[in-house]
Structure 1
Amino acid sequence: MKKFTRTIVAASLLAGLSFSAFADFKAGFVNTDRVFREANAAKAAQTRLEQEFSKREKELIALRDNLKRGSDAFERDAPTMSESQRVTKQRDLVEQDREFQRKSREFQEDLGNRKNEELAKVLDQANKIVQQVAEAEQYDVILQEAVYVNPKHDITDKVIKALNAAK
């Protein structure tokens, strides 16, 4: 019985100590998706990407439209074409489609890579701001992903404001 009582007292003491240790624990949360949508640096990165890739996108749209027109014309004119003309036109359309698909894949890959580069720069800046806020306001931990966060722990607005003020 004495041993059981000592165990209960020790467990209560440990629970009290751990509760007092967590009483001073300060946690925060940053929604990186909101930072990417709302921060001026992220918006500027998006504008740079649009400017950088707009010409290629227009070229792809023109290629697609040209291919569509050619395909429509082929379907319309195929019954009146000779066999050799039909085969030649089909090969030409298949080649144009391959070229369009290749350029489209390259465009998507290049855009994805550049977007990742730009977002990495914004994330790096945001992480520095998060660290500054955490140190200034004495946070013990800042989370960037969570299933649920009480809004009182969300410091995203502070980070966005500080990120917009930097530069």
Structure 2
Amino acid sequence: MKVTTLTVLAAALLSVAAPAALAESRLGFVNSDRVMREAAPAVRAQQRLEKEFEKRDQELQRLGKELQALQEDLERNGVTMAEADRRNKERSFNDLNRDFQRKQREFREDLNQRRNEELASVLDRANRAVKQIAEAEKYDVILQEAVYASPRIDITDKVIKALADSK
């Protein structure tokens, strides 16, 4: 009997105390995707990546056009070509295609690796900015992922501004 009474009393106290404690808590939300798109360090990182990989991207585009031209030539003139010429063109096409595929794969791998490095740096700075805002404004919890967050608790603009100010 005593255990049941104590359990009911504890449940009643928790149901009264929990909402009160929750009401005193300060909650914030940061849209990480928006920070990674709009924050100055993220924009600069994207520009660095574009500049760094621009020549390789242009080379891949040139190879792609060359490959397409070779394929069109084979389709258009393959029937009328001498057997040896057609085989040489097909071999040339296959070699160029293999080279193109390899370079494209290496390009994607290198780009992904560099993007991950750059974004890790931006994410680290963003997390430091979030922590500074949380400490300065006395937040208890700041969430980065949510199905829905009220604009009232969204501090994304503050984080973007803090990152722009920190350079």
Q: TM-score under structure 2 normalisation?
A: 0.93
1:10-159 equivalent positions in 2, closer than 5 A: 10-159=10-159
How far apart, in 1, do the equivalents of 2:82 and 2:4 lie? 100
Indicate the larger mover: 112-121 or 80-89: 80-89
Counterpart AA for 1:95: D
How far apart, in 1, do the equivalents of 2:77 and 2:3 lie? 97
How far apart, in 1, do the equivalents of 2:8 and 2:105 lie? 66
SS of the aligned residue for 2:152 comes to helix
How far did residue 3 of structure 1 move? 7.4
Shift in CA distance, 82/153, structure 1 to aligned 2, threshold 3 Å: same
Counterpart AA for 1:13: L
**For this pair of structures, how many residues does the alignment match?**
167
How far did residue 75 of structure 1 move? 1.7
How far apart, in 1, do the equivalents of 2:71 and 2:49 lie? 32
Counterpart AA for 2:152: K
How far did residue 2 of structure 1 move? 8.3
Q: Over aligned residues, Cα RMSD in angstroms?
A: 1.6
Indicate the larger mover: 80-89 or 4-13: 4-13
Query: Among the aligned pairs, what percent are the same residue?
Result: 55
How far apart, in 2, do the equivalents of 1:39 and 1:56 lie? 27
How far apart, in 1, do the equivalents of 2:55 and 2:13 lie? 69
How far apart, in 2, do the equivalents of 1:69 and 1:3 lie? 85
For structure 1, the 5+ residue unaligned runs are: none
Shift in CA distance, 116/2, structure 1 to aligned 2, threshold 3 Å: closer
How far apart, in 1, do the equivalents of 2:85 and 2:22 lie? 81
How far apart, in 2, do the equivalents of 1:153 and 1:58 lie? 44
For structure 2, the 5+ residue unaligned runs are: none
